C-alpha cells in the first residue's frame, strides 16, 4: 500500500526530511506513571528532566498529564492544570524545541496549543473527534493512533483481530483522512500503531515485525515502544529492566522506516536510531578515520 511518498514532516517551525529520525522524550506530569512514577511530578524536576533529554538528543518533548493505565480520575481541568502552564514555561525556556502534548481531549489540546505546543499526540485513536479541528486551528501536527475498540485508560481483554496490522492500517489511515478533511496540513499528520494499546503481546510483536507495511503508506510513523509490556512479557522482565529489549525493538522499527521514537531513555535511543540511519546510508558516520589516516 503506497498511497504517498515519504516527504518532509513539519513540526512547529521545523521541517524534517524523511531520512532524519526523531527522538521524542517523555515528560509525565503525573504522580502515578507506570515507569518511575512521580519522577517528573514536581515542576522543577520536570524542567530538569527536559534539560537532560534535550542534552541527550531529544528532538521533541512530549508532555502528558494523565497516565495511560486505569487509576485515579484526572478530569479535564486537572489535566490542563498539569500541562498547559508547564508547556508555556517550556516554550519560553526552549523556543526551538518541538513540544508535544499527550492527550485525547480537545480542551486540553487547545490549552496546550495556546501555551505553545506544536504537536497533539493522541494515543487513544480519535476518541475525541474534535482533536483534528484543534490541530487545524493552530496549525499543529497530529498523531493518529490505533487503539482498537478501547476507551481511554482501559486495558485490553481477550482482544482479537483477523489481521491486526490490517486493522491498524484501516483505523489510522481513516483518522489521517479525517484530519486532512478537517484542515490539518498533510505534512503535519503522523500515524502510530500504538503498541500495547488495545493489543496483547502477540499483536505488538507482529506489528513490529510488519512495520514496513505501515511505513509504506507514506505517512510518517511514530512508535512508542519504551519499556512497554510487550517487551516485558517477551523477556519476563519488570519495567526498570526492559531497556535492552526496548532498544532491540527500536532498531527493528528504525530499519523498517519509523520516523519518530517516543522514549524514556533518550541517550541510548538516540544512539540506536542514529546507528541504524548510518547503516542504511541515511547518515554519515560522526567520525570516520579508520583506514584513512
* 105 is an active site residue: no
What does the DSSP assignment read for 79-130?
HHHHHHHHHHHHHHH-TTSEEEEE-S-HHHHHHHHHHT--EEEETTTTSSTT
**By CB neighbour count within 10 A (0-12 exposed, 13-18 middle, 19+ buried), where does 118 fall?**
buried
Dihedrals φ, ψ of 7, to 5°?
-130, -165
Helix or strand or coil: residue 262?
Answer: strand
**By CB neighbour count within 10 A (0-12 exposed, 13-18 middle, 19+ buried), where does 250 fall?**
buried
Given the residues 82, 105, 228, 270, the one annotated as active site: 228
Given the residues 171, 199, 259, 262, the one annotated as active site: 262
Alpha-carbon dihedral sign for residues 124, 273, 204, 264: negative
For residue 122, how far is the Cα from the chain centroid? 9
146: left (phi over 0), alpha (psi -120 to 50) or beta: beta
Cβ(45)–Cβ(38) below 8 Å: no
For residue 29, how far is the Cα from the chain centroid? 16
* 262 is an active site residue: yes
Cβ(72)–Cβ(158) below 8 Å: no
Contacts of 281 (CB under 8 A, 6+ apart): none
**By CB neighbour count within 10 A (0-12 exposed, 13-18 middle, 19+ buried), where does 52 fall?**
middle
Active site residues: 228, 262
Amino acid at each position: 500500500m503506497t498511497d504517498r511518498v515519504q516527504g518532509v514532516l513539519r513540526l512547529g517551525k521545523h521541517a524534517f526530511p524523511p531520512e532524519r529520525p526523531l527522538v521524542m522524550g517523555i515528560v509525565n506530569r503525573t504522580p502515578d506513571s507506570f515507569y518511575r512514577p512521580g519522577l517528573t511530578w514536581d515542576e522543577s524536576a520536570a524542567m530538569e528532566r527536559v534539560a537532560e533529554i534535550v542534552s541527550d538528543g531529544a528532538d521533541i518533548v512530549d508532555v502528558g498529564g494523565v497516565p495511560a493505565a486505569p487509576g485515579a480520575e484526572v478530569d479535564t481541568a486537572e489535566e490542563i492544570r498539569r500541562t498547559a502552564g508547564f508547556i508555556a514555561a517550556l516554550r519560553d525556556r526552549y523556543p526551538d524545541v518541538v513540544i508535544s502534548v499527550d492527550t485525547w481531549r480537545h480542551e486540553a489540546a487547545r490549552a496546550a496549543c495556546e501555551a505553545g505546543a506544536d504537536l497533539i499526540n493522541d494515543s487513544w485513536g480519535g476518541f475525541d473527534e474534535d482533536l483534528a479541528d484543534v490541530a487545524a486551528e493552530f496549525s499543529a501536527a497530529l498523531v493518529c493512533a490505533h487503539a482498537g475498540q478501547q476507551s481511554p485508560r482501559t486495558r485490553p481483554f481477550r482482544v482479537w483481530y483477523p489481521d491486526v496490522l490490517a486493522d491498524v492500517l484501516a483505523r489510522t489511515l481513516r483518522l489521517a483522512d479525517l484530519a486532512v478533511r478537517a484542515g490539518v496540513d498533510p505534512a503535519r499528520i503522523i500515524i502510530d500503531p500504538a503498541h500495547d494499546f488495545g493489543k496483547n503481546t502477540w499483536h505488538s510483536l507482529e506489528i513490529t515485525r510488519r512495520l514496513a507495511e505501515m511505513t509504506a503508506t507514506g505517512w510518517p510513523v511514530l512508535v512508542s515502544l519504551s519499556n512497554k509490556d510487550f517487551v516485558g512479557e517477551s523477556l519476563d522482565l519488570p519495567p526498570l529492566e526492559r531497556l535492552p529489549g526496548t532498544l532491540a525493538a527500536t532498531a527493528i522499527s528504525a530499519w523498517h522506516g519509523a520516523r519518530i521514537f517516543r522514549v524514556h531513555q533518550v541517550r541510548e535511543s538516540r544512539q540506536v536510531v542514529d546507528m541504524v540511519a548510518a547503516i542504511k546510508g541515511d547518515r554519515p558516520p560522526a567520525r570516520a578515520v579508520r583506514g584513512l589516516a
